Structure 1
């Protein structure tokens, strides 16, 4: 009865529009009061949920992404991507994806990609005569690459909760992120052939050289972050701090586009974003503690394992469950609730926590492209000034290649585990 009350109250709060963090906290508080437990348990678990050293990386990566946007570095990234792949049919669609791959190595957040690069990409595609539906669809889909290719805010949160190596998770996300990009580029090529989309000019070595010189220092950001982590120069947390220092150096000393006023604005934006993220993590911590203390994870594990002894069937059921929840719940809240429940099941199925982390995050990224939550869709509806409903319809076809990649990653673990096994030799 108590657990039923917990979930019913949570969904009621969400349905009436109460913020996710508040809904989780209130549902947990109601459960604890009904059970006659001391209310201080809520505070202890909420504080414990955010009292983690790796979480220091969260505000730092957010700040680095904001600094990159404010300094105008996204323009240089887009110009470089345009020189690299703009000569293909449907050129700006490919440029859109290529820019997202590069920016993924700086921000680690899908919404930051959609908001930062999205305005540049959609304007360029409109000016070139591309249909708004195609422009919005490819921009939304490509933004989901951000949290897969390191650095990744969701992977950091997952690593903390699952007690998994964040370095291995980062390494595991590189190949899947590139697979997502290639699958989306194949979709763009099909669209371009069907609709007669043009090339964005011819390939010019001189243009590639000049844009690469302009973008060289920004392109070093993912090299510093990812390379530093993978080669053991610094931890993910230290890499986040290095990313902030390097972003400030580029914006204030090299390009001189960052002023003290803009730095203050960026800092305030970072504090607001970080506060909302940590509130969700803190509220989810008490919710997850209740589930664990009441052996919900164990009961759910026994239930799923009792349905079938076929690993493929069970992984499909878990995938569908995550996809469903991702449509209704914010990514970080979903991670903190689902991991304690699902991790024991996948471990029992002999699935690596690192492998499961990539599957989980990609599943939840698809939720960012589907209503009713669909945060990326809301951002692009505002950026592109098109109705939300049109964004949903425009993005739907691009879910197909992403789902194909998701299934490949789910049932072929080597795609995620090969690179970590090479770098982190056992």
Structure 2
């Protein structure tokens, strides 16, 4: 932009230089993003420190973002209200007889949990408490237990309703209903390859298996868990068919989970409700603070036209649709190692979107490439929040679980490649159910 004190290159060096320096000093990501903006704002006469506050609070002025704390509250109500216990029972009836039965239950429960909570960190926290010690008692290696718990937790950002899909749709103006539908098939494929990985580990290491559940036991478990399983049907169906918005669906999910916990399963009292509200407030504050500072960082990138300068260089490479898809995935895979997924969407997604439009990648397809790629960052150092949570519960170092984690990520990477090369994996359901969602 003409008349600025700083050129685009100078602003970019300051923004990214300060940000990565602060990360190296182990400053929290959300704080580092905000502090990185301060030198530029001070050096530019047209701007000032108040710009940081203005752009941060402008980001919060979004009806869609209200869905984030409500979906987090849904997950916490599930944990304290007995809903998770019913889903564990159903998962055991369905897959407990597979090789590595307890780890298979872990994956299937993550799949069910993902369809209700939308939060991988909430999933990792609850699953770690349930499964890591139980697997330890049954003879599973600690590194395997931590790895499968952390890796299966990433399903929550891919299977709808995903908080990342809500943020992506709100920031980049993509139909959230289409994103919900687009995540179903990749989520199923990733769950399937994770179960296959557990099967291979169990056969190689002799992990135990539970007796096969009888038909009556499976039917009873499904009947008891059916009210909980209706939650994603209500949320996704209501959004896709236009009965309510994403934020309204999150509110309905809270009311439904609260009703189940209080009146159907009757395992939540006032103490448990207060605990769920307290935990939700803490997690939502961290998440939304990250949204605010990332939005200011992204605003400064746009102010100095840094994305245009980056895209001019990349566009000169002359990449086609598939090559651009792999480039997008590579960028998100690298960025996800250092940055939380939400600021990565706000900053990097906004930069790459024009590039994908130029080569004819559908916005929903671009979104799913980005979201699946960012899911890897939840279990890869140095950020790796889900892996960090699981390691903390297990009382072990991240480095000790890294080998098994990488092995489990390889089949997931195969699914990501399929998503890039074959767009119909993500576009099939949106086209079938609501083609008006797609451009």
Same fold (TM over 0.5): yes
Deviation at 1:386, TM superposition (A): 2.5
Deviations 1:383-418 (A, max 9, x none): 222222222223111010111111111111100111
Matched, 1:2 2:18: no
2:379, 2:385 within 8 Å by CA — same for their partners in 1?
Answer: yes
Q: Secondary structure at the match of 2:159?
A: coil
Give the counterpart of 2:210 among 200, 206, 219. Answer: 200
Indicate the residue corresponding to 1:279 in structure 2.
Answer: 289
Counterparts of 1:385-396 in structure 2 under 5 Å? 385-396=395-406
Give the counterpart of 1:257 among 264, 267, 276. Answer: 267
Indicate the residue corresponding to 1:414 in structure 2.
Answer: 424
Deviations 1:312-358 (A, max 9, x none): 33332222221111111111121111111111111112111111111
Deviations 1:265-286 (A, max 9, x none): 2112111111111111111111
Return the alpha-carbon distance in structure 2 between the equivalents of residues 42 and 384 of structure 1: 39
| Ranges in structure 1 where 5+ consecutive residues have no aligned partner | none
2:322, 2:420 within 8 Å by CA — same for their partners in 1?
Answer: no
Matched, 1:22 2:21: no
What TM-score, normalized by structure 1, do the two folds share?
Answer: 0.96
More displaced stretch, 134-143 vs 387-396: 387-396
Indicate the residue corresponding to 1:189 in structure 2.
Answer: 199
2:177, 2:236 within 8 Å by CA — same for their partners in 1?
Answer: no
Indicate the residue corresponding to 2:276 in structure 1.
Answer: 266
Deviation at 1:166, TM superposition (A): 0.8
Counterparts of 1:56-67 in structure 2 under 5 Å? 56-67=66-77
Q: Secondary structure at the match of 1:421?
A: helix
Deviation at 1:287, TM superposition (A): 0.8
Return the alpha-carbon distance in structure 2 between the equivalents of residues 423 and 397 of structure 1: 36
1:2, 1:35 within 8 Å by CA — same for their partners in 2?
Answer: no
1:20, 1:280 within 8 Å by CA — same for their partners in 2?
Answer: yes
Deviation at 1:218, TM superposition (A): 1.3
| Ranges in structure 2 where 5+ consecutive residues have no aligned partner | 1-9
Give the counterpart of 2:83 among 65, 68, 73. Answer: 73
Deviations 1:127-174 (A, max 9, x none): 332222222221111111111111111111111110111111111111
Matched, 1:177 2:187: yes
What TM-score, normalized by structure 2, do the two folds share?
Answer: 0.94
Deviation at 1:34, TM superposition (A): 1.0
Indicate the residue corresponding to 1:13 in structure 2.
Answer: 22
Return the alpha-carbon distance in structure 1 between the equivalents of residues 137 and 232 of structure 2: 30
Indicate the residue corresponding to 1:289 in structure 2.
Answer: 299
Return the alpha-carbon distance in structure 2 between the equivalents of residues 146 and 352 of structure 1: 23
Counterparts of 1:81-160 in structure 2 under 5 Å? 81-160=91-170
Instruction: Give me the CA root mean square deviation.
Output: 1.5
Indicate the residue corresponding to 1:376 in structure 2.
Answer: 386
The runs of at least 4 consecutive aligned structure 1 residues that moved more than 6 Å come to: none
Indicate the residue corresponding to 2:5 in structure 1.
Answer: none
Return the alpha-carbon distance in structure 2 between the equivalents of residues 190 and 17 of structure 1: 37
Deviation at 1:360, TM superposition (A): 0.8
Matched, 1:38 2:47: yes
Return the alpha-carbon distance in structure 1 between the equivalents of residues 252 and 106 of structure 2: 27
Return the alpha-carbon distance in structure 1 between the equivalents of residues 246 and 285 of structure 2: 20
Return the alpha-carbon distance in structure 1 between the equivalents of residues 294 and 251 of structure 2: 26
2:178, 2:364 within 8 Å by CA — same for their partners in 1?
Answer: yes
Matched, 1:318 2:328: yes
1:74, 1:117 within 8 Å by CA — same for their partners in 2?
Answer: no
Q: Secondary structure at the match of 1:52?
A: coil
